[in-house]
């Protein structure tokens, strides 16, 4: 396949490394920052012949990236999003944002899962879930990853995968908080169980399939992100638990979006409610630990 990766940060660079392991692929990197990619060619030159385009950037930059590629896409090109968040103001998940921006016949998919760049770059294997409503997208992208270090599992639950990708970042912040508060492994285990149960209920309420939560986009990625020292969401959680100043993350922004999406039902999700109170209202982070014990 002829593949273009838009976004040459840690994730985009790792995806390029993985996809090049399949010698049948031709991979080109592109980034909006001049000079970031050596000998970079214009989008107008590399996109019209691309079979697949991977969007590897934070959710805050996704809309502008999708609009930039739109005029140059082939109708049969596959667009794969990897941003695990919710757009501010619109509260759109990745799949719905792409569907609004790209032509309605454009084939889109999501590639989510525990894919920490710091581990993959050393050669470690990883697992991910590829979600699309069209079988041809699933099969063609899966083939592009054949004989690489990334094992791709297939799903038609695009909505559920999109929700899981955003939710696991939110709940990963809580894992950082629990660690910073000095809770032991028993508390962390209880937190993972309670957080997964809340994710299951939220995904069901917002239109996804419950079983998706227990796969690579949900539980697996929650554990990896929540425990990883290199995860921005983990770092935000630790800063909150230590009562330190911290910048935002995909999870902190998504928490507020889920608060709006759930409305009055937010109170039914004890951990999420506590996270929103801590992130948005400056509440005591101990509320997150206390939420684990609530019925």
Residue 132 pLDDT class (50, 70, 90 cuts):
very high
Pair (69, 106) in one structural domain: yes
Contact yes or no for 196/219 (Cβ under 8 A):
yes
> What is the dihedral sign for C-alpha 213, 214, 217, 220?
positive
- Domains held by the chain: number: 2
Q: At 67, is the pLDDT very low, low, confident or very high (cuts 50, 70, 90)? A: very high
**What is d(CA 244, CA 164) in angstroms, rounded to the nearest whole number?**
28
CATH code where residue 110 lies: 3.40.50.720
CA distance linking residue 178 with residue 169, whole number of Å: 15
In a shared domain, residues 18 and 106: yes
Residue 207 has pLDDT above 70, yes or no: yes
Q: Both 150 and 171 in a single domain?
A: no
Q: Which of 76, 168, 179, 265 is catalytic?
A: 168
Domain that includes residue 256, residue range: 167-291
Average pLDDT over residues 156-168: 98
> Please, is 50 exposed, middle or buried when counting C-beta atoms within 10 Å of its C-beta (0-12, 13-18, 19+)?
buried
Q: Has 76 been annotated as catalytic?
A: no
Same domain, 106 and 181: no
Q: Which of 75-89, 193-207, 281-295 has the lowest mean pLDDT?
A: 281-295
């Amino acid at each position: 396949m002829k593949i273009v990766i838009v976004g040459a940060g840690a994730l985009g660079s790792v995806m390029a490394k993985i996809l090049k392991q399949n010698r049948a692929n031709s991979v080109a990197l592109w980034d909006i920052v001049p000079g970031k990619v050596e000998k970079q060619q214009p989008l107008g030159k590399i996109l019209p012949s691309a079979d697949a385009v991977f969007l590897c950037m934070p959710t805050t930059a996704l809309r502008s990236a999708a609009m930039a590629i739109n005029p140059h896409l082939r109708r049969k090109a596959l667009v794969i999003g990897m941003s695990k968040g919710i757009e501010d103001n619109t509260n759109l998940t990745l799949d719905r944002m792409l569907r609004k921006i790209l032509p309605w016949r454009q084939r889109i998919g999501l590639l989510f899962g525990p894919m920490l760049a710091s581990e993959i770059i050393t050669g470690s294997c990883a697992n991910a879930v590829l979600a699309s409503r069209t079988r041809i997208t699933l099969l063609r992208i899966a083939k592009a990853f054949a004989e690489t270090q990334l094992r791709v599992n297939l799903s038609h639950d695009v909505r559920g995968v999109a929700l899981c990708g955003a939710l696991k970042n939110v709940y990963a912040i809580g894992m950082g908080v629990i660690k910073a508060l000095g809770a032991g492994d028993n508390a962390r285990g209880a937190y993972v169980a309670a957080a997964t149960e809340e994710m299951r209920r939220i995904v069901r309420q917002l239109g996804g399939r419950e079983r998706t939560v227990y796969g690579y986009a949900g539980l697996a990625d929650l554990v990896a992100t929540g425990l990883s020292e290199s995860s921005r969401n983990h770092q935000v959680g630790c800063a909150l638990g230590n009562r330190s100043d911290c910048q935002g993350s995909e999870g902190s922004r998504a928490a507020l979006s889920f608060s709006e999406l759930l409305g009055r039902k937010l109170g039914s999700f004890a951990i999420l409610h506590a996270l929103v109170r801590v992130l948005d209202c400056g509440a005591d982070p101990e509320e997150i630990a206390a939420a684990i014990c609530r019925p």
